[in-house]
Structure 1
Amino acid sequence: MRDTITWGMMLRKLPTIAKAIPRVVKGMKVANVKDPTQPCGLAWTFEQATLRNPEGLALLQNDVALTYAQVNQWANRIAHHLISQGIGKGDAVAIFIENRPELLVSILAVAKVGAVSALLNTSQTRDALVHSLSLVAPVAIIVGEELVPAYCAVRQRVAIAETRTWFIADRDTYGSPGISPDGFINLMKVSADTGDAGRNHNPPSSQQVFCDDTCFYIYTSGTTGLPKAGVFKHGRWMRSSASFGLIALDMRPADVVYCPLPLYHATGLCVCWGSAISGASAFAIRRKFSASQFWNDVRKYRATTLGYVGELCRYLVDQPPSADDNQHGVTKMIGNGLRPGAWQQFKTRFGVGHICELYAASDGNIGFSNMLNFDNTIGFSLMNWELVAYDHDSGAPIRNANGLMSKVAKGGQGLLLARIDDKAPLDGYTDPQKTEKVVLRDVFSKGDRYFNTGDLLRNIGFGHAQFIDRLGDTYRWKGENVSTTEVENILLQHPNISEAVAYGVEICNTNGRAGMAAITPAESLATLDFSELLSFLQQHLPAYAVPLFLRVKVKMETTGTFKYQKTRLKDEGFDPGKTVDDPIYAWLPGSQTYVQVTTQVLADIDAGKYRY
């Protein structure tokens, strides 16, 4: 079986395992805060890092370089002002700022108060923005100058007092607060008035934050198209930052994490920043990801560690080769979604020794990490998990005659379930009904509870797993289950294709969903030989998995976290009237190439002229 981990492979890792044992023990002790009266969480870990490394660099962006002591003092000033304005423990404070130091300092200040940061997606506007705010009913909001127009457009629909509508100028505000527009309070200006006492002393409230207190609301995509607000507690911050920073990456004060990911999501904020804080390391950020400037930034900040998502790596691989590709100090990287097709290519070309691929969801209770540096795996988890058989059409796990679920055999793929217990509690969503929908009861024995991740994994041995697909992203055609990830990986192996997104579409009078893929040519449409491409796909994929339709896109649209917009692609299907400037091609039965879909070809397909 491909990528199976064998005894021989594990034996070769014994020196690595032996070396890691002390930090694993230390990390588990830090991660598993069981005493409900023990101070912990984001503010506590940052204050501990400040005690360990006060003059060490903490935040870097462009020409801004702040030490742990400076960031902690800055956050203290803001925290004292929030407290003076009546913000207290458990209050939701919406934060609407793009990637810059002020975002992280604001989040840290809110955590010191014991309040909850509602991390608004900076690309949201209008109804989606109003919906996100209404889910958590914030008592205050902090708005960056760059997003003032978006907030002003919905301000009359949101019940937040003007006296608690704070503004942060789009500049380096550490030394100069800037000028706020009418209707906003300049947070940096008013918080500067707290004086030395407010700057030099951590507020007592930061010692009154415990493992079961909520740290953030992190928004995830909802089935209705509108976001859900996931609850992320301080106890989970401890597990995340220690597991990834101490155990998986062994972060130290000399390390620098470079992270161009959006910080309103858990990978950038909790995994990457959390890892940096756990090691009292520096955290370098970028406003928005740039493939052309990525390695220049890495060299500028002297980064040792990268934060990534899979598509970011694909963009870097697609850049023209350079003699400087491996001229950097990066030895390790952490993130998720790196496809097997790009894994070894990235590792070899850029000379990164350790790819710590992880699996985690901001709304879940389990995390995997590739601590032992095997290829093409999300690693292992210290939590209790199982892979179970599921019904492909409904996505529901299958129960046997006794009403219990069935585990899949080693090497098989199944639906990932994570046990909910004291070691791995489920924080869920702000809406209890949405939380209840993802909880499965009486799974293997009466009374047990498991979180349904909705993800398909394969057990590749020794507790390690391989991500296969989101359950909703697989489709069934000709009685077979097709993994979109598998199809995408093969398409990306073709030298003339730089991006690929696979999905299933319905054809009139057929069962299941036929395969379709949106592709971006490496150079231009003219470089694609559709007969050769079809032959290539037939050689590398089972017949039922070869896409019947192709949509050629000059540029693939992605979300702020570089995820492709599959829902929109599925909805538009292979109708050239809906895809506008993107030509559609079809592999018609009996032919040996893809032909362009015209209005007439579409009508013939819909009329059943072709037998699929």
Structure 2
Amino acid sequence: MSGQDVISFPQFAAKIPQLVSGVTGLIKGLKVGDTTDKTKPVGLGKCLQDCARANPQGTAIAFENREISYREFDEWTNRIAHCLQSAGIRKGDAVAVMIENRPELLAVITGCAKIGAISALVNTSQRGKVLCHSINLVEPKMAIIGEELIEAYQDVESTLSLTADDRYFVADSDGLKHPASAPEGWHNLMQLAGRASDASPATVDTIFPDDPCFYIYTSGTTGMPKAVVFNHGRFMKAYGSFGFAAVRLNSEDRMYVCMPFYHATALAVCWGSVLAGNAGLVIARRFSASRFWQDIRDHRATAFGYVGELCRYLIDQPPSPRDADNQVRVIVGNGLRPTIWKSFKQRFGIPRVMEFYASSEGNIGFTNLLNFDNTVGMCPFPYAIVQYDQENETPVRDRKGRMVRVRKGEAGLLIGEITDKTPFHGYTDAEKTRKSILTDVFEKGDAWFDTGDLMRDIGFKHAQFVDRLGDTFRWKGENVSTTEVERIVDGCDHVSETVAYGVEIPHTNGRAGMASVRLNCDIAAFDFQALLAELRRDLPAYAIPVFLRISDDVEKTGTFKHKKAPLKQAGFDIHQVTDPIYVWLPGADTYVPLTREIHEAILAGHYRF
């Protein structure tokens, strides 16, 4: 299939034996993920306990030169749970967790989960105002900070609602065995946990589907980061639907994950799949294209998690005779582009691509169970793809006020019906939750979640991701809120007005940030280096605009909304734009004028953004 094809009956019929062979796992996955019984104890803590009973000596986590068995990891998380209880943390309390990818992060998250505390999983690349907002948003009772991020936390500490007594330190070392000294005035979590009981806390059996497990931050469609409620029931859905129905690992498997665990893809989809199979989780602190396949071989990984950008970086590496020298039999993730899908599978010898579609806040998901190319697969829950008027930014309704489903092959807005089995738990922001619900869609009184995404119906209940709507764009595997970027840029010296949007750069995935900026000084007097330094302090690297368009004014609608469509269409094309354009080139510490030579080099792919 190409990116525009639909699935034919012969194509679908050829996959029926594969569907039949996976029915047992599919049924088990749906049963495990069924959270309609609100009185049944479930959750992350119980999933780990099941693994510790079934595979006590098996590898739970491998990280660099460390391997931790399921029994060791379960007991470690019990110690942390008891330690947090002794510090006064109770069910329903939020705990801000800011630790990079390493075993301590998952131990802390699980320790919280076992007592019903909610881990607020702060994006470790956030700094300044955005970091302060994310922490204060959830009103945490405690902050657990990794040694590697102490400085970032201390930079905003004076503006946080937490007191000095609520700071807990986690060394960047070997967990309980080598807990390094904490800074003065900080509690050393692992030293305290070392003195706690390793018995399972009784609270594990008091965790139910609707109890929150994590707060996962998302850009949403407007404003600063939102904290999405990800409850234990949703974790069970990921554990069941991906673990048993889709990925299907076993105790001999190892999944390599180099994506950040503050995202649901790594935390719920990948780790949930590992736990369901009593398999091993191999953690990399961060992604490295040059080391990736050697890591895979060194750790004997048979699976890995991905986002589209990761795959693009891998295929951009120089070909090697060892490209297919690996034991990988399945990969799971989202965003693998149709332009590289088949070549990626062939070059690296990947038999199964378990592409999926989901969002941290959404109530439905798609999984490529039948291993078709170029599709997010199918969804077992009620959804619809409806006609969408992009000019007026609203779903199309007929004369009766009802929405209209698209035909096979057409693209439209994806919506998920809100039911007992597919609830929408919303955000910590009640107004944002209200705006995400569509009512009277097909009949009076019904309710549907607005995903904000365009999908194409390609037939036989399969869909293909098309694009994102609203005030977000995706870059470096992250959702970027244009409103958040605008707010930060507007706060910089000599900036009067900002309009942020995403633009496509050839040979990259997603959209890079671009901002149309109006200055209150002469452009020759403006300090572009100082601007970039300020943006690097207050925004994650992926959210910083790559291009700046210096404009005298910004076109607006009659209701004073910025007209972004013409800006997006022109992009950074110097043949269409008469305004000066500046670019932040890879490795540079300032913006420089976009010359004809630089423009041609960008289009030719000579810069690696």
Aligned equivalents of 2:407, 2:222: Cα separation in 1 = 35
User: Which residue, out of 106, 109, 112, partners 1:107?
Assistant: 109
Partner-residue secondary structure (3-state), 1:26: helix
1:528-547 alignment to 2 at 5 Å?
Answer: none
User: Could you say if the C-alpha distance between residues 86 and 102 of structure 1 is closer, same or farther in structure 2, counting changes exceeding 3 Å?
Assistant: same
2:556: which partner in 1? none
Opposite residue 380 of structure 1, the aligned amino acid is M
- CA displacement at 1:501 relative to structure 2: 3.9
Deviation (angstroms), 1:276: 0.7
**Which residue pairs with 1:416 in the alignment?**
414
Shift of residue 564, structure 1, vs aligned partner? 5.8
* Distance across 1 between alignment mates of 2:513 and 2:205: 49
| Match status 1:119 vs 2:121 | yes
Give 1:174 shift.
3.2
- Residue 582 and residue 214 in structure 1: after superposition, are their counterparts in 2 closer, same or farther (change >3 A)? farther
Corresponding letter in the other structure for 1:270: A
Distance across 1 between alignment mates of 2:341 and 2:544: 23
Amino acid at match of 1:122: T
Q: Give 2:140's aligned residue.
A: 138
Give the 3 Å change call, closer, same or farther, for CA 584–403 of structure 1 in structure 2: farther
Query: Is 1:46 matched with 2:44?
Result: no
**What one-letter code is carried by the residue in structure 2 that aligns with 1:113?**
I
Distance across 2 between alignment mates of 1:33 and 1:6: 35
Higher relative contact order (CA 8 A, sep 6+): 2
Q: Look up the match of 2:38.
A: 36
Please state whether the residue corresponding to 1:269 is helix, strand or coil: helix
In the alignment, which residue of structure 2 is the partner of 1:529?
Answer: none
Is contact 1:318–1:498 with CA below 8 Å preserved after alignment? no
How many residues get paired?
521
Output one character per residue of 1:504-527: Cα deviation in whole Å (capped at 9) or x when no partner: 9999xxxxxxxxxxxxxxxxxxxx
Match of 1:69 among 60, 68, 71: 71
The answer as to whether partners of 1:585 and 1:596 remain within 8 angstroms in 2 is no
Structure 2 counterpart of 1:50, one-letter code: A
The alpha-carbon deviation at position 163 of structure 1 amounts to 3.1
Secondary structure in 2 aligned to 1:415?
Answer: strand
Q: Partner residue of 2:594?
A: 583
| 1:117 match: secondary structure | strand
Superposed, 1:478-557 pairs within 5 Å as 497=507, 501=511
Q: 1:289 aligns with which of 281, 287, 290?
A: 287
User: Hey, what does 1:429 align to over in structure 2?
Assistant: 427
Instruction: State which drifts further: 168-177 or 184-193.
Output: 168-177
Moved over 3 A (4+): 222-225, 472-475, 497-507, 562-578, 593-597
Distance 2:181 2:56 in 1: 31
The Cα of 1:414 is off from its aligned counterpart by 0.4
What displacement does 1:404 show?
1.1
- Which consecutive unaligned segments of at least 5 residues does structure 1 have? 476-486, 508-556, 587-592, 598-612
SS across alignment from 1:399: coil
What are the equivalent positions in structure 2 for 1:371-386 lying under 5 Å apart? 371-386=369-384
CA contact (8 A) 1:99 1:288 kept: yes
1:86 Cα deviation after fit: 1.2
Correspondence for 1:12:
14
Query: Equivalents in 1 of 2:184, 2:158: separation in Å?
Result: 15
CA distance in 1, matches of 2:435, 2:378: 26
CA distance 1:55–1:596, shift in 2 (3 Å): closer
Once the two structures are superposed, residues 192-240 of structure 1 have per-residue CA deviations (whole angstroms, 9 ceiling, x without a partner) of 111xxx11x2100111000000000000014445201111011000001
Deviation string, structure 1 residues 1-38 (Cα, Å, up to 9, x no partner): 83311111122112211110111111111010221111
CA contact (8 A) 2:453 2:468 kept: yes
Q: Which residue of 2 aligns with 1:234?
A: 232
Once structures 1 and 2 are overlaid, which stretch shifts more, 329-338 or 39-48? 39-48
* Cα shift at 1:338: 0.6
Preserved contact between residue 143 and residue 166 of structure 2 (Cα < 8 Å): yes
Residue in structure 1 matched with residue 576 of structure 2 by the alignment:
none
Q: Is the 8 A contact 1:94 1:120 kept in 2?
A: yes
Q: Describe how 1:418-497 pairs up with structure 2 within 5 A.
A: 418-472=416-470, 497=507
- Residues in 2 aligned to 1:12 and 1:173: alpha-carbon distance in whole angstroms: 50
Q: Which secondary structure does the structure 2 equivalent of 1:372 belong to?
A: coil
What is the letter of the counterpart of residue 275 of structure 1?
S
State the alpha-carbon separation in 1 of the partners of residues 127 and 140 from structure 2.
Answer: 17
Letter in 2 for 1:256: R
Other-structure match for 2:323: 325
Distance of 2:342 and 2:233 partners within structure 1:
35
Map 1:234-383 onto structure 2 (within 5 A). 234-383=232-381
Instruction: Decide whether the 8 Å contact of 1:576 with 1:584 is kept in 2.
Output: no
Per the alignment, residue 87 of structure 1 pairs with 89
Closer/same/farther in 2, CA of residues 468 and 155 from structure 1, 3 Å limit = same
Counterpart contact for 1:358–1:368, Cα < 8 Å:
yes
Note if contact 1:417-1:450 (Cα within 8 Å) is conserved in structure 2: yes
Whole-Å separation in 1 of the counterparts to 2:180 and 2:229: 34
Contact 1:42–1:237 at 8 Å: present in 2 too? yes
Q: CA deviation at 1:112?
A: 0.4
**Does structure 2 conserve the Cα–Cα contact (< 8 Å) formed by 1:311 and 1:563?**
no
Find the residue that maps to 2:339 and give its secondary structure.
Answer: helix
Distance 1:104 1:270 in 2: 11
Query: 1:26 and 2:28 equivalent?
Result: yes
SS of match in other structure, 1:358:
strand
Determine the C-alpha separation between the residues in 2 that align with 1:74 and 1:217. 22
Q: Any conservation in 2 of the 1:368–1:378 contact (CA below 8 Å)?
A: yes
CA contact (8 A) 2:176 2:191 kept: no
Aligned-partner residue type, residue 140 of structure 1: M
Letter in 2 for 1:578: Y
Summarize the Cα distance change of 1:11–1:563 in structure 2 as closer, same or farther, 3 Å threshold. Answer: farther
Structure 1 counterpart of 2:132, which letter?
V
1: CA distance, partners of 2:89 / 2:512: 47
Report the Cα distance in structure 2 between the residues aligned to 1:73 and 1:417, rounded to whole angstroms.
Answer: 42
Aligned position for 1:610: none
Match of 1:511 in 2: none
Greater shift in the superposed pair: 4-13 or 93-102: 4-13
Q: For residues 474 and 273 of structure 1, what CA distance do their matches in structure 2 show?
A: 27
Cα distance, 1:317 vs. partner?
Answer: 0.3
Equivalent residue letter for 2:438: L
Question: Retained in 2: the 8 A contact 1:501–1:566?
Answer: no
**Contact map agreement 1:474 1:503 (CA 8 A) in 2:** no
1:184 to 2:186 alignment: yes
TM-score of the pair, normalised by structure 2: 0.81
Cα distance, 1:594–1:150 mapped onto 2, change above 3 Å: closer
Superposed CA deviations along residues 98-157 of structure 1, whole A, max 9, x for unmatched, are: 110000000000000101000001011121111111210000010001011111111122
One-letter identity of the residue aligned with 1:460 = I
Contact 2:176 2:193 in 1 (8 A): no
* Deviation (angstroms), 1:395: 1.9
- Deviation string 1:436-480 (CA, Å, 9 cap, x unpaired) is 1110011000010001111000011110000011124899xxxxx
SS in 2 for 1:364: coil
Please point out which of 1, 5, 10 is paired with 1:3. 5
Separation of aligned partners in 1, 2:82 and 2:204: 11
Structure 2: gaps of 5 or more residues: 474-502, 518-534, 551-570, 573-578, 584-590, 604-609
* In structure 2, distance between residues paired with 1:168 and 1:76: 16
- Measure the CA separation in 2 of the matches of 1:42 and 1:57: 18
SS in 1 for 2:395: coil
Distance between the aligned counterparts of 1:63 and 1:206, measured in 2?
A: 31
1:576-597 superposed Cα distances (whole Å, 9 cap, x missing partner): 45333362559xxxxxx97999
1:222-270 Cα shifts (integer Å, max 9, x gaps)? 4445201111011000001211111011121111110000110111111
Indicate if the aligned counterparts of 1:3 and 1:376 stay in contact, CA closer than 8 A.
no
What fraction of aligned residue pairs are identical, expressed as a percent?
46
Identify if the C-alpha distance between structure 1 residues 595 and 13 changes in structure 2 by more than 3 Å, giving closer, same or farther: closer
Kept in 2: contact 1:584–1:596 (CA 8 A): no
> 1:377 deviation in Å?
0.2
The answer for the alignment partner of 1:157 in structure 2 is: 159
* Structure 1 residues 448 and 585: CA distance shift in structure 2, 3 A: farther
1:258 partner SS: strand
- The 3 A distance-change label for structure 1 pair 74 and 578 is same
